[in-house]
């Protein structure tokens, strides 16, 4: 056995890596599950793009409301217990959505679904920051982000395909089944927290949040998170309407297939730590934003191949930016890490809500070109923030 790499058999695979990736997967298959279906749902319920996009706004707004306080809740029930309980609970509103008969009903259950997601992903990110050595945080955050990117893809692609075959209601039922399977995997593979430092309850979390909001580096990182999801939601929501309209006339299956572009970042995300070490955090992110701007401008071109190329660049650059900023939060917050991550998530999802809402206004005013102009403007603002405030 001397020829066998010793590190392979001396160090067993850490199942916690599987657990955090699965938690990310379970969160994002639900968060983005209606996105490829929006044109189809708009037709069925006789709703316009801005009205049906409330399905995206409702969940992201709910996340923004609850994310900052999940750390205090984790103090009471424990991190593993909270993550797994929330994953099992998410199955319920996902199933109830299959019975909805109006847009307001769907929107309400999307809001409930959104309330249950922060205890999964914010606590998972904080768990990574606490349970792994500092040198491994960026790597494990990359593993987690790979899970979220695969979940984001499956949450869009699978419902899009199933809607053409068995209808959107059955598609949501399949999402519920996948969420249940993910919850079981996390329950079996995530170990109980061992290095968890309590935040001291809601009052202590509030004090920590005020302290975080006085840290210029954290404020800048929160602003980048805001911009990342603003751009993601605006891009992937309204490109679906763009391609569902003439001359493209994409079906739900084809719209779901668009999100294969989401997977392009999965093999790259675990290498973010090395890229930061090689190029530096600020130059690396500025390069990503520059490429991201190129990607969104490419989507103004008529050929589908150029639209897909641009969408792929947007997916990769956005996911890598998100990985860097998420890891930067856990490294920058010396204390109150749960509240720091929760505050980041809240601002991140406020960005997503506004991306859907303002994207609807831009679409109504100037169509797809108006959405692209709005997204490019946000990217330029992000570049300015990184230049001035990141080290």
SS (H, E, C) 145-156: HHHHHHHHHHHH
Report whether pLDDT(77) > 80. Answer: no
282-289: Cβ within 8 A, 24+ apart: 282/386, 282/387, 282/390, 282/391, 284/324, 285/224, 285/321, 285/324, 285/325, 285/386, 285/390, 286/383, 286/386, 286/387, 288/317, 288/320, 288/321, 288/324, 289/317, 289/321, 289/379, 289/382, 289/383, 289/386
In a domain, 378, yes or no: yes
Query: How do residues 370-390 score in pLDDT, each as one tens digit?
Result: 999 999 999 999 999 999 988
Note whether residue 335 is domain-resident. yes
| Residue 62, in any domain of the structure | yes
Residue 21: inside a domain: yes
What is the span of the domain harbouring residue 44? Answer: 14-191+202-389
The C-alpha atoms of residue 108 and residue 8 are separated, in whole angstroms, by: 49
Nearby residues of 305 by Cβ (< 8 Å), 6 or more positions away:
none
**Inside any domain, residue 6:** no
How many domains in the chain? 1
**Does some domain include residue 120?**
yes
Q: Looking up tokens 């009052």, which residue turns up?
A: 203
Is 137 within a domain?
yes
pLDDT digits (tens, 9 = 90+) for 314-364: 989 998 998 888 778 867 766 666 677 778 888 988 998 899 889 999 999
Quote the crossing angle between the two packed helices 54-66 and 103-116, to the nearest 10°: 30
Tell which residue, 303, 203, 314, has the closest CA to residue 261: 314
Has residue 148 been placed in a domain? Answer: yes
The tens digit of pLDDT for each residue in 267-318 reads 777 677 788 878 888 899 999 999 999 999 999 999 999 999 999 999 899 9
Q: Residue 80 is part of a domain; what is its CATH number?
A: 1.20.1250.20
Mean pLDDT of the chain: 86
The pLDDT > 70 percentage for the chain reads: 91
């Amino acid at each position: 056995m001397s020829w066998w790499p010793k590190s392979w058999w001396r160090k067993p695979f850490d199942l916690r890596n599987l657990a955090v990736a699965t938690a990310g997967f379970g969160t994002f298959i639900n968060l983005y599950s209606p996105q490829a279906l929006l044109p189809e749902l708009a037709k069925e319920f006789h709703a316009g793009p801005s009205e049906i996009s409330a399905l995206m706004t409702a969940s992201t707004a709910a996340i923004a409301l609850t994310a900052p306080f999940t750390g205090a809740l984790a103090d009471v029930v424990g991190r593993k217990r909270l993550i797994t309980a929330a994953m099992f609970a998410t199955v319920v509103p996902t199933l109830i959505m299959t019975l909805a008969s109006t847009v307001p009903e769907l929107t309400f259950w999307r809001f409930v679904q959104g309330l249950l997601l922060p205890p999964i992903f914010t606590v998972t990110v904080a768990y990574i920051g606490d349970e792994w050595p500092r040198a491994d945080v960026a790597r494990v955050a990359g593993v987690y982000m790979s899970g979220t990117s695969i979940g984001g893809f499956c949450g869009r692609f699978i419902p899009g395909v199933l809607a053409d075959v068995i209808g959107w209601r059955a598609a949501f039922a399949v999402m519920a089944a996948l969420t249940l399977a993910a919850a079981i995997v996390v329950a079996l593979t995530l170990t109980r927290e061992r290095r968890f430092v309590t935040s001291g309850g809601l009052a202590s979390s509030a004090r920590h949040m005020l302290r975080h909001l006085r840290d210029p580096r954290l404020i800048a990182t929160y602003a980048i998170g805001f911009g990342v999801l603003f751009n993601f939601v605006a891009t992937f929501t309204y490109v679906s309407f763009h391609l569902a309209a003439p001359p493209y006339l994409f079906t739900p299956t084809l719209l779901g297939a668009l999100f294969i572009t989401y997977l392009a970042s999965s093999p790259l995300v675990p290498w973010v730590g090395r890229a930061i070490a090689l190029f530096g955090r600020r130059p690396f992110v500025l390069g990503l934003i520059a490429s991201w701007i190129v990607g969104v401008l490419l989507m103004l071109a008529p050929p589908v191949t150029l639209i897909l190329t641009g969408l792929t660049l947007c997916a990769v650059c956005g996911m890598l930016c998100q990985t860097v900023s998420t890891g930067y939060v856990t490294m920058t917050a010396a204390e109150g890490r749960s509240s720091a991550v929760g505050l980041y998530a809240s601002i991140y999802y406020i960005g997503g809500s506004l991306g859907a809402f303002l994207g609807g206004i831009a679409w109504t005013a100037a169509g797809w070109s108006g959405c692209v102009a709005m997204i490019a403007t946000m990217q330029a603002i992000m570049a300015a923030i990184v230049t001035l405030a990141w080290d």
